[in-house]
Amino acid sequence: PGSPYQLVIEALTNYPQKRFYNVSKLGGTKYDVLPYSIRVLFESSIRNCDGFLVKETDAMNILDWKTKQNNVEVPFCPARVVLQDFTGIPAMVDFAAMREAVRNAGGDPVKVNPACPTDLTVDHSLQIDFILKNQEMEFGRNRERLQFFKWSSKVFKNISIIPPETGMAHQVNLEYLSRIVFEVKDFLYPDSVVGTDSHTTMVNGLGILGWGVGGIETEAVMLGMPVTLTLPEVVGCELTGTASPLATSIDIVLSITKHLRQADVAGKFVEFFGSGVSQLSVADRTTIANMCPEYGAILSFFPVDNVTLKHLKHTGKDEISVMEAYLKAVKLFRNYESSSREPEYSQVLQISLSSIIPYVSGPKRSQDRVAVNNMKSDFQACLNEKTGVKGFQIAVEKQNDIVPVQYEGNEYKLSHGCIVIAAVISCTNNCNPSVMLAAGLLAKKAVEAGLVVKPYIRTSLSPGSGMVTHYLSSSGVLPYLSKLGFEVVGYGCSTCVGNTAPLPEAIRNAIKQGDIIACGVLSGTKNFEGRLCDCVRANYLASPPLVVAYAIAGTVRIDFETEPLGTGFNGKSIYLRDIWPTRKELHTVEEECVISSMFKELKEKMEKGNKRWNSLEAPESALFPWDLKSTYIRCPSFFDKLVISPQAIENAHVLLYLGDSVTTDHISPAGSIARSSAAAKYLTNKGLTPREFNSYGARRGNDAVMTRGTFANIKLLNKFIGKPAPKTIHFPSGQTLDVFEAAELYQKEGIPVIILAGKKYGLGSSRDWAAKGPFLLGVKAVLAESYEKVHKSQLIGIGIAPLQFLPGENPNTLGLTGREQFSILFPPELSPGMTLDIKVSLHTGKVFSVIALFENDVEITLYKYGGSLNFVAQRFL
């Protein structure tokens, strides 16, 4: 409603009750050559066009992407938000506080709800407890926060909470939350999301536009504001050819990500196309997309195609035919066989899947990659080479030494390259089920062919989570892995960090006596920081199925093409190719057995909840009954008075006089709470011992702690103090105090404060409290030489004026000491533009001009209302 584009709302063919914006009709031939990711931005701008937050010019700029890319900023209203508990707490606390403020101003608090569906996963702050697998403790230590979440899930519309101990892989969690196509009251539109986690891009693999942003941006979206982005370049990544059967998903994923790292995709969208895309499973796609932070792209988009639809069927999604019809109607469905025109990308990158061959890396450093078919000769070269990053310098006459060893009543022969440790590990980067499954299927075929692993080899299996064990078991391969000695030893990277069981004494002695270069193979992605074992001098990282294959071979000195792995039943030579599972086999097992059972179980868990979560009591009142004793959850004071116009800043003191490159971590440190800090004093007064302080990150729901933590970084360099310290001078009294204490005194005295800073103020990743904290310290304006752009917008979003010295000017050239009192007068009619001239007058009589960095009328409006929280509260009124 409200969009001037309602004329193009149409009914979906064959589903007359379903309606949608026919953006394809509206966009015409321009639309037909837009990258698919940009089509999603366009649809969103059409649907959300209100003439203020999203304007018709924005929509037209997106349609003119070809010429406007990189040149304009556009607003984007994602369909939903995903939060984790760490970032979710402050956002939900703000919503609870807003209900309070709206009630106090005579409004109806029940109307205050997130403007779009928000899914909050409770998993972050409970991580340690997760590892301990101790739900009792989890609930005890986090009861206050969990109760607050429970209350939120009961009283707010558009909030759903994924309770702790749902215990599911991140990927599945995200996929579970994915809608692909949204349907609200028979109205259809594409799913899209922003989240506070860098893994948010995972869902790009399902054809969902989405990326990670800071806590403040997600909160803004929950408040109904768009995120703003520079209309991005889109790099088309064309996949051609067919991958080698020995290449695992990980090989493909790593090879594609390596290409992307070498290409310049930073700050751009990547969009995949070409016939090779259909060879990638949804898991492969999500893994590639998940690695966006590594190659710097904003996102890596895989438009929905038949592979996605097939995957969705296994996840039990309803109404797939409606989704398909809708996506086809708005030309968001990819059919690689059709002859329709390809989008016009900013740049095209071609990757031939045929060029992807499997690698291992080692023997000493993870960056030294060795093609599997060169392994034998490469190891030989390592024996020859001088001791160094790869070489072992073994004299030629000793290279074929054989050391006999007795073990469990049998004699074995150790030689250079023999394998003594083989660890199948599922690390976060290879949570892709197919590689672990490949190891399992390979084990199954090996056992069935009669192959064995020598008993002295320390074999182990460390699934990344119970989920991995679950699907290895449900697909029936676990018994075969265990038959080859790959028994589950624990979860997490136990072997990576050197926790393998010690090698048998006899083997250790034999290795030492014979000076044998023994090998470990493991499927971790970590390098060898924690050496496996001091007597194992060569370590290789390999894919899980290759770890099993090498364990069976018992040596790395093997050419899989020409030499058999071992002898099977009836004395038959068995080659790797005989037992290697095909990609097709894998995908079938993966989809039919893993995906559907994972989703079924997740769905059950979600529906049933878990006992402790279900029995957790929480109030049902529209307003949260704040517990004044709580040290985690407090009603913040953003709404003390709902202001409507910015007041002039009169006779402000300088709270801090900072130099260049002040980061968000200087402004709002996330780590532990120093014992001497203002926050520590507060918590001590509340009866807590230092052990109970927890970190600033965990206390983001308590504005009292966070305000005291603002500028509490011990590395803060304040020119008033002259050495790094979280201190400043309170000028009226001349005392040197903690920043918070000085700010508190100023507030008591009714004196506003400002901050002086140098270049690039607010560098670093966006952090919600880096804007909120200064606001609650009473900071009315920052006067800096330049800003980090995102932080600058966040200052406006909270109601702090970002002012900038004129080019070439700074406190030095202006002869400022920072001890002056500053008055700043805004013109009655603010208007956007970099050149907006603001007069600053000092109590000394000096007057100079600065620039106010409001870039558009939305920013001015937000500032006038005292920030976005207050603006939205006014809207609810």
Ligand X SMILES: *[C@@H]1O[C@H](CO)[C@@H](O)[C@H](O)[C@H]1NC(C)=O
Q: Among residues 86 and 326, whose Cβ is nearest to ligand X?
A: 326
Nearest to 579 by CA among 614, 549, 538: 549
Among 306, 352, 684, 874, binds ligand X (CB under 6 A): 306
Q: Which residue is nearest to ligand X (CB)?
A: 25
Nearest to 757 by CA among 674, 646, 850, 639: 850
**Which stretch, 146-154, 173-181, 303-311, 535-543, contacts ligand X (CB under 6 A)?**
303-311
Phi, psi of 606 (to 5 degrees): -65, -40
What is the footprint of ligand X within residues 727-756 (CB under 6 A)?
A: none
Among 19, 72, 153, 158, binds ligand X (CB under 6 A): 158
Q: Among residues 276 and 811, whose Cβ is nearest to ligand X?
A: 276
Half-sphere exposure of 125 (CA within 13 A, CB side): 29
Is there a contact between 195 and 155 (Cβ–Cβ < 8 Å)? no
Alpha-carbon gap, residue 846 to 826, rounded angstroms? 17
Alpha-carbon gap, residue 671 to 712, rounded angstroms? 10
Q: Is 596 in the site for ligand X (CB under 6 A)?
A: no
State the minimum distance, in angstroms, from the CB of residue 584 to ligand X. 9
Q: Is 24 in the site for ligand X (CB under 6 A)?
A: yes
Residues 6+ apart with CB under 8 A from 189: 20, 21, 43, 44, 47, 79, 181, 182
Q: Is 78 in the site for ligand X (CB under 6 A)?
A: no
**For the packed helices 249-262 and 433-449, what is the interaxial angle rounded to 10 degrees?**
140
Q: Is 374 in the site for ligand X (CB under 6 A)?
A: no
Q: Among residues 318 and 829, whose Cβ is nearest to ligand X?
A: 318
State the minimum distance, in angstroms, from the CB of residue 861 to ligand X. 21
Q: Is 22 in the site for ligand X (CB under 6 A)?
A: yes
Task: Give, in degrees to the nearest 5, the angle at Cα 445 between 439 and 450.
Answer: 120
**Which stretch, 123-131, 302-310, 548-556, 763-771, contacts ligand X (CB under 6 A)?**
302-310
Q: Is 157 in the site for ligand X (CB under 6 A)?
A: yes
Q: Among residues 337 and 505, whose Cβ is nearest to ligand X?
A: 337
Among 310, 605, 681, 719, binds ligand X (CB under 6 A): 310
Among 116, 297, 441, 586, binds ligand X (CB under 6 A): 116
Q: Is 684 in the site for ligand X (CB under 6 A)?
A: no
Within 10 angstroms of residue 337's Cβ, the number of other Cβ atoms is: 7
State the minimum distance, in angstroms, from the CB of residue 291 to ligand X. 23
Q: Among residues 278 and 610, whose Cβ is nearest to ligand X?
A: 278
- Give the total of residues touching ligand X (CB under 6 A): 20
State the minimum distance, in angstroms, from the CB of residue 310 to ligand X. 4
Q: Among residues 12 and 853, whose Cβ is nearest to ligand X?
A: 12
Q: Among residues 282 and 435, whose Cβ is nearest to ligand X?
A: 282
Q: Is 278 in the site for ligand X (CB under 6 A)?
A: yes
State the minimum distance, in angstroms, from the CB of residue 239 to ligand X. 13
What six digits make up the tokens of 81? Answer: 């938000």
**What phi-psi label fits residue 867: left (phi over 0), alpha (psi between -120 and 50 degrees) or beta?**
left
Q: Among residues 337 and 620, whose Cβ is nearest to ligand X?
A: 337
Among 6, 7, 25, 512, binds ligand X (CB under 6 A): 25
Q: Is 584 in the site for ligand X (CB under 6 A)?
A: no
Torsion of CA 131, 135, 138, 139, to 10 degrees: 170
Q: Is 35 in the site for ligand X (CB under 6 A)?
A: no
Residue type (1 letter), 198: S
Among 307, 360, 516, 558, binds ligand X (CB under 6 A): 307
CA 274 to the chain's CA centroid = 27
Dihedral of alpha carbons 213, 214, 215, 217, sign: negative
Cα–Cα distance list, 315 to 79, 276, 373, 592, 767 (Å): 21, 24, 38, 10, 35
Enumerate the H helices of 235-305 as residue ranges.
249-262, 282-290, 292-295
Alpha-carbon gap, residue 32 to 28, rounded angstroms? 7
Q: Among residues 237 and 536, whose Cβ is nearest to ligand X?
A: 237
Binding mask 165-204 for ligand X (x = CB under 6 A): -------------------x--------------------
Q: Is 329 in the site for ligand X (CB under 6 A)?
A: yes
Alpha-carbon gap, residue 588 to 281, rounded angstroms? 10
Q: Is 312 in the site for ligand X (CB under 6 A)?
A: no
Enumerate the H helices of 362-465 as residue ranges.
375-384, 433-449
What six digits make up the tokens of 243? Answer: 């991958």
State the minimum distance, in angstroms, from the CB of residue 211 to ligand X. 19
Footprint of ligand X (CB under 6 A): 10, 12-13, 22, 24-25, 113, 115-117, 157-158, 184, 278, 306-307, 310, 329, 336-337
